[in-house]
Amino acid sequence: MDFVISKVAMSICALLVAGIMATALDFHRLADEPGELRDVLREFSGLVETALQSGSRGSIEWSVPPMSTGDRVTITVEDGVIRGESGGSKAVLHPSCELHTWKWNGSALNRTAVEALDASSKFVADSGQTIGIYTVSVQIGGDSALFVFVHSKVQ
């Protein structure tokens, strides 16, 4: 009987120690940062896709949020890929549409020129910065196509 009582007492003590240690630890470190970071990238990518699906010229503004831990988020768009970084966490997302980071000057383009411009430019934004997502009708190869551009929103 003493054996059972001592095991129960030890279990209760272990639970008390675990409870005290849990409150002493920083719960923010236990947050699912990579999952949260992916959610931020999905939100951004969803806005880009919504802008393109609108089928018309327009713009959307989006502010890069901080993580729930308070860490800053850095979003990089390069070669059509969206990368996120926060603290030690990294995430990558490939949007389902083309995303461009260069400024179009209104001239007619061809696919080769678009690929060269995409390869030579990148966009970086941090938490608190506002990103402008623009849809523009671009002349490419004699036809008109709707392009999505991302740029820093000047405030």
Q: Are residues 41 and 25 in the same domain?
A: no
> What is the pLDDT at residue 63?
94
At 75 the pLDDT is: 96
> What does the pLDDT read at residue 28?
40
CA of 118: how far to CAs of 39, 54, 123, 148, in Å? Answer: 25, 23, 11, 12
**pLDDT tens string 50-89:** 988 888 888 999 999 999 889 999 999 998 899 999 988 9
Q: Are residues 86 and 65 in the same domain?
A: yes
**pLDDT tens figures, 15-25:** 445 555 444 44
Helix boundaries (H) for 25-120: 33-53, 111-119
Q: How far apart are CA 41 and CA 94, in angstroms?
A: 10
The residue range of the domain holding 54 is 32-152
Q: Are 58 and 7 in the same domain? A: no
Output 108 or 155, whichever has higher pLDDT: 108
Check residue 128 and give its pLDDT.
Answer: 93
pLDDT for the residue 20: 53
Regarding whether 61 and 79 lie in a shared domain, the answer is: yes
> Which comes out higher in pLDDT, residue 87 or 28?
87
16 and 59, same domain (yes or no): no
Give how many domains the chain has, as a whole number: 2
Specify the higher pLDDT residue, 141 or 18: 141
- Residues 24 and 57 both lie in one domain: no
Co-location of 37 and 18 in the same domain: no
Tell me which DSSP letter residue 28 carries.
Answer: G
* Domain co-membership, 134 together with 79: yes
Residue 40 CA to residue 122 CA, distance in Å, equals: 19
User: Do both 46 and 7 map to the same domain?
Assistant: no
pLDDT for 121 equals 93
